[in-house]
Amino acid sequence: KFPGDAEHSVTLYEARPILGGKVSAWQDADGDFIETGLHIFFGAYPNIHNLFEELRITDRLQWAPHRMTFAMQELPGEFTSFEFPAG
In this model, does residue 82 exceed pLDDT 70? yes
pLDDT score of 44: 67
pLDDT of 43 = 64
In 3D space, the residue among 62, 67, 70, 61 whose CA is nearest the CA of residue 83 turns out to be 67
According to DSSP, the residues that pair with 26 across neighbouring strands are: 34
E strand residue ranges, 13-71: 24-27, 33-36, 67-71
pLDDT tens track for 22-81: 777 888 899 988 877 766 666 667 888 888 899 898 888 777 777 889 999 999 999 999
What sections of 22-68 are H helices per DSSP? 46-54
